[in-house]
Chains A and B, each alone.
Chain A
Amino acid sequence: MPKDGGIGASTVRREDVRFLTGTGQYCDDMNMFGQTAAVFARSTVANGVIKSIDTSAAEAMPGVLAVFTGEDFVEVGGNPAGWLINSRDGEPMKEPKRPVLAHGKVRHVGDAYAAVIAETVEQAKDAVEAIEADIEELPAIVNMKDALAADHYVHDEIGTNQCFDWGWIEDNRAATDAAIKGAHHVTTLELVNNRLVPNAMEPRCSMAQYNRANDEYVLHTTSQNPHLTRLLISAFVLGIPENKLTVIAPDVGGGFGSKIYHYGEEALVLAAAKKIGRPVKWTADRTEAFLTDAHGRDHVTKIELAMDKDGNFLAFRTETMANVGAYLSNFSTATPTFLHGTLMAGNYTVPNIYVNVKAVFTNTAPVDAYRGAGRPEATFSLERVIDKAAREIGMDPIALRRKNFIKPDQYPFASAAGLEYDSGNYDALMDQMEKVADMAGFEARRKASEKKGKLRGFGVNAYIEACGIAPSNLVGVLGSRVGLYDAATVRVNATGNLSVMVGAHSHGQGHETAFPQVVAEMLGIDPQSIDIVHGDTSKIPFGMGTYGSRSLAVCGSAVVRATEKIINKAKKIAAHMLEASDGDIELKDGVFSVAGTDKSVTFGEVALKAYIPHEFPLEDIEPGLEETAFYDPANFTYPSGAYCCEVEVDPETGKVSVESMTAVDDFGNVINPMIVTGQVHGGLGQGIGQALLENTTYDENGQLLSASYMDYVMPRADDLPFYTVDHSQGNACTHNPLGVKGCGEAGAIGSPPTVVNAVIDALQSGGKNVTHIDMPMTPHRVWSAMQNA
């Protein structure tokens, strides 16, 4: 096994060199010969009837090559929802069409109703100004509660603003109601999970080429999953056969969910490239990103926790309104349901769970999965109500959690919310957290803060998430319209180096470094001789991409399976070369040898033999050394963690500062600890941002008030502390070959309730009976809560 660069090594990332020297190739860094520019005309009203669009003046503008409106796409399909949810009464969800360009109505500010293709971006922008659109503004539907009561609709044809009314698990409802009715103590909490904009630093960009000779298209686009994008465009939107469409996601500057989805701009540039016979490129500016990238979260929730007289949990009951915005983005219906309701057991042995989710259309941007996707919403509700309950019954919040934790001998554990957890040890995580966070020293630190006139609080959280999305058979039963396997091809080249083609897509996760560590470990060769190929549908097998902390657990498992096939075949070739039986061949440190002898051949010699098959047993073995594996997981993976933080609150201003943040996670086995730690850091930054800074605000007319970095508060370096991250308490996943669980979303799931719990603790310590503050806990909100307490 390689000492440097195998499993468990904190190998520095090979992709860094190009990013550090300015030689990365992001979509907007590329230009094509004869390239033209697309610019979109976007609605300035949240809800309106398109009476007419006159494009004649725009078409006559200098440099203009074509102008498109919704009329041009009436005959093609729409962008579909990837997951069918049935309401409690059995009725399927409402699925209004999501066209390439708005037709008939505009439904949110930023909804594109026309596009100009011109020689230059400036000419296209000028021509967009010359489009005369007569749009009759209608009252905007913004607030979810109002939307459900309204007698006018975001989509008139469906006659309601409710997409679905989902119950999970409906058969548990009566028992849950009864448990709450008969409980010794019930804690109730109403809360808002604030709406966020993912804000990958690279704005979306799409560039299309069309080759008339072969009727072929190439789309370069900012995607987390090029095959999924191609499938959606081919099967649902434009009907371009998949063999005629290549989708390439090159270096992508972050995603966090927002680049999972297919967007209309991708279809528009493809159609335009065919029409004008030249490449067409569109790059979003930041305002367009705020207006049109799928947003995240936006739940309004009431949760109840029922306990017996000893603090044993008897039931959780949740009612949530989930905003889906103006159109159903691809996974918008799965996020508040199966990625949220199924997690409502948390880390606890609670027997009764019922979750009701009403998904609501509003005249706002679509809402979909954002880092964590449903699981942060579940964790936030659970861990806030548990903290509140601990205060109400006078019990230490850690002790209350520990009392109800699932114990290590209970795995596999069937939760009342319908999942089977494979492994974990939540007490061990909590023990480690208490140790590394120096909980024993908290009171002294609190006194020191008080001396400075600050209130210090300690907040804790335990989370579980379901990652490694997902077993296709299971999600198929639950309404998914896609399978959620992944795929890898391992190609051993004749000279002994390897190209590994993967369905996962790296946009910050470091796959180019971590995946070779796995293969190098298995083959006993230098990881530097292994390169990862990703992001190009013409080069890689059909995989489902990167989201839901799935890359290593699902695609990494496919890499393992394909490498096992390589080893099996290579052993046969080695056996032939060594005139031995393949059952006697051993592979160690990149050398195949006959057990108990000194006869051996190197991995490189076997590779060369595979491609120069002289004296080769062609009747038994095909030439070449290349294998593909598809891997469909048997279950979700269940990362878990114990987090804590300490905050200081300035009682004069309400300003909160996070003084420390500790994350102890069970990710199972870890391939590259440096990368895993970095993933947690990023999630913590986003989670603290949600807790203290970030909010997406629409006014009553549906105007987005937070549409730039002047108004939407992104976490900056001086808003955040150094973090303490620990993943020493891993329990290997029991059902994938690497024993890995996934680490990409944990920080964003575990940190928001931790910060809120700490702020409440700080205020309580100052004698203020504040039991909840909605996120973001801005100085104004904290100060106001203190005044009203």
Chain B
Amino acid sequence: MTKVTMTINGKSVSGEVEGRTLLSSFLREDLHLTGTHIGCDTSQCGACVVHVDGKPVKSCTMFAAEADGADVATIEGQANEDGSLNVIQAAFQEHHGLQCGFCTPGMVMSAAALLKDNPKPSEAEVREYLEGNICRCTGYHNIVKAIMAASGQDVSAIAAE
């Protein structure tokens, strides 16, 4: 067992982990941050995306020990300080960018990373960026629309409802 210490959503946390413990397992099992989801075992689905030192990472591809000393952000820390939904979260709700909700945390974290690098992405750029996030419910229409809306672009021309 190895002791790890990292900052998660602004708070310092420590834990004892095995060498094989994945960051996703550490978050879910040890810290009870169950908003980070596990949807596959091949790092394809993206339900487990978190930010590590500001960069999006599939937390099932990273050992917890590798995140020792890192600054980690998860879905649980994304809302505004008063608890209200942040701009991306609010856009997902406003534009119905989620249905069952299982892929949603990863989608929101990927969207946040995209908009940080590319504040006004085109439709094609959003779609390409989401290549690593699979959603089975929405057909992606409203996810793409929500992310473009969150970037401040006018999405009223994109099909209604």
Min Cβ gap B161→A in Å is 4
The 22 sampled A-B contact pairs (Cβ below 8 Å) are A16-B101, A19-B100, A19-B101, A19-B104, A20-B104, A21-B75, A24-B35, A24-B102, A29-B28, A201-B135, A253-B37, A254-B137, A674-B96, A683-B139, A708-B44, A709-B42, A709-B134, A714-B136, A717-B144, A718-B124, A718-B128, A718-B131
Q: Mark B20-45, 1 if CB is under 8 A from A, else 0.
A: 00000000100001111111111011
Hey, which chain B residues are within 8 Å of A674, CB to CB?
A: 96, 161
Q: How far is the CA of A78 from the CA of B149 in the complex (A)?
A: 52
B99 nearest in chain A by CB position: A508
Q: Does B59 contact A (CB under 8 A)?
A: no
Q: Contact: B33 with A681, CB < 8 Å?
A: no
Q: Decide: A722 and B144 in contact? CB cutoff 8 A.
A: yes
Judge if B123 is at the interface, Cβ distance under 8 Å: yes
Query: Is residue A684 within 8 Å, beta carbon to beta carbon, of the partner chain?
Result: yes
> Would you call B151 an interface residue if the criterion is a C-beta within 8 Å of the partner chain's C-beta atoms?
no
Chain A 15-44 interface mask (CB, 8 Å, partner B; 1/0): 111111111111011000000000000000
Contact A681 B138 (CB under 8 A): yes
**A162, chain B: closest CB distance, angstroms:** 33
* A220-243 to B contact mask, C-beta < 8 Å, 1/0: 000000000000000000000000
**A18 cross-chain contacts in B, Cβ below 8 A:** 101
When chains A and B are docked, how far (Å) is the Cα of A201 from the Cα of B135? 7
Contact present for B136 and A717 (CB under 8 Å): no
CB pair B134 A716 closer than 8 Å: yes
Please, which residue of chain B has its CB at the minimum distance from the CB of A727? B161
Q: Which of B40, B45, B101, B102 has the largest number of chain A CB atoms within 10 A?
A: B101
Q: Chain A 238-272 against B: per-residue CB contact (8 Å), 1 yes, 0 no?
A: 00000000000001111010000000000000000
Chain B residues within CB distance 8 Å of chain A: 28, 33-42, 44-45, 47, 74-76, 78-79, 85, 89, 92-94, 96, 98-105, 108, 123-124, 126-128, 130-131, 133-145, 158-161
Q: Which 3 A-B pairs have the closest CB atoms?
A: A22-B35, A685-B139, A19-B101
* Distance of A685 Cα from B136 Cα, bound (Å): 8
Q: Are B131 and A686 in contact (CB under 8 A)?
A: no
**Given A21-B76, A253-B101, A674-B96, are A722 and B39 also a contact pair (CB < 8 Å)?**
no
In the complex, the chain B residue whose C-beta lies closest to that of A678 is B96
Chain B residues whose C-beta falls within 8 Å of the C-beta of A23 in the assembled complex: 35, 76
Q: For the complex, is A72 an interface residue (Cβ under 8 Å from B)?
A: no
Give the chain A neighbours of B34 by CB distance below 8 A: 22, 25-26, 28-29
When the two chains form their complex, are residues A682 and B137 in contact, meaning their CB atoms are under 8 A apart?
A: yes
Residue from B39, B135, B137 having most chain A Cβ neighbours under 10 A: B137
Q: Specify which of B28, B74, B128, B159 is in contact with A722 (CB 8 Å cutoff).
A: B159
* Beta-carbon contact of A202 and B100 below 8 Å: yes
Task: Note all chain A residues with C-beta closer than 8 A to B96.
Answer: 12-13, 674-675, 677-678
State the CA gap A714–B39 with chains docked (Å): 13
Question: Which of chain B's residues has its CB closest to A718's CB?
Answer: B127
Consensus secondary structure, chain B interface: loop
Q: Is A479 an interface residue (CB 8 A)?
A: no
Residue in B74, B96, B133 whose Cβ sees the most chain A Cβ within 10 Å: B96
A493 within 8 A of B: no
B98/A19 in contact, CB under 8 A: yes
Tell me the complex Cα distance, A328–B84, Å. 48
Q: How far is the CA of A725 from the CA of B145 in the complex (A)?
A: 15
Q: How far is the CA of A681 from the CA of B37 in the complex (A)?
A: 23
Q: Tell whether, in the assembled complex, residue A684 and residue B139 are in contact, meaning their CB atoms are under 8 Å apart.
A: yes
Report the number of A-B residue pairs with Cβ-Cβ less than 8 Å: 196
Taken together as a complex, chains A and B put the C-alpha atoms of A321 and B47 apart, in Å, by 37
Known contacts A202-B100, A286-B39; is A13 also within 8 Å of B136 by CB?
Answer: no
A31 shortest CB reach to chain B, Å: 8
| With known contacts A21-B89, A201-B135, A682–B40 Cβ distance under 8 A | no
A677–B97 CA distance with the chains assembled, in angstroms: 11
**Judging by beta carbons under 8 Å apart, are B134 and A201 in contact?**
yes
B99 touches A286 (CB 8 A): no
CB-based contact B100/A201 at 8 Å:
yes
A510 CB–B CB distance under 8 Å: yes
* Beta-carbon contact of A508 and B159 below 8 Å: no
List the B side residues contacting A717 at CB < 8 Å.
Answer: 126-128, 130-131, 133, 135, 140, 143-144
Taking the complex as formed, is A472 at the interface, i.e. its CB lies under 8 A from any CB of chain B? no
CB-nearest residue of chain B to A723? B141
CB distance from B134 to the nearest CB of A (A): 5
Contacts of A779 in B (CB 8 A): none
Contacts A20-B108, A682-B136, A716-B131 hold; do A722 and B123 have CB atoms under 8 A apart? Answer: yes
Most buried by A among B76, B79, B138: B138
Tell me the bound Cα distance from A752 to B50 in angstroms: 35
CA distance A29 to B76 in the complex (A): 14
Chain A residues lying within 8 Å of B94, measured Cβ to Cβ, are 12
- In the assembled complex, the CB of A438 is this many whole angstroms from the nearest CB of chain B, namely 13
In the bound complex, what is the Cα–Cα distance between A29 and B102 (angstroms)?
Answer: 11
Q: Chain A residue with minimal CB distance to B33?
A: A22
- B-contacting residues, A115-141, CB 8 Å: none
A474 to B100, CA, bound (A): 32
The CA of A253 and the CA of B34, in the complex, are separated in Å by 14
**When the two chains form their complex, are residues A510 and B93 in contact, meaning their CB atoms are under 8 A apart?**
no
A2 smallest CB distance to B (angstroms): 20
**Complex interface: chain A residues within 8 A of B79 (CB):** 21
Contacting residues, chain B, for A203 (C-beta < 8 A):
38-39
Q: Please, how many angstroms separate the alpha-carbon atoms of A203 and B40 in the complex?
A: 8
Decide if B101 touches A251 in the complex (CB within 8 Å).
Answer: yes
A507 within 8 A of B: yes
A287 interface hit (Cβ, 8 Å): yes
Question: Which one of A509, A714, A722, A747 lies within 8 Å of B99 (CB-CB)?
Answer: A509
Closest to A661 in B: B139
A720 at the interface (CB under 8 A from B): yes
CB distance B105 to A22 under 8 Å? Answer: yes
Least CB distance from A198 to B in Å reads 8
- CB atoms of A254 and B161 under 8 A apart: no
Q: Are B41 and A287 in contact (CB under 8 A)?
A: yes
Q: Which of A507, A681, A724 contacts B139 (CB 8 A)?
A: A681
Report the bound CA distance from A200 to B138 in whole Å: 12
- How far is A781 from B106 in the complex, measured between Cα atoms in Å? 34
- Chain A: which residue is nearest B101 at the CB level? A19
Contact present for A26 and B142 (CB under 8 Å): no
**Shortest Cβ distance from residue A291 to the other chain B in the assembled complex, whole angstroms:** 12
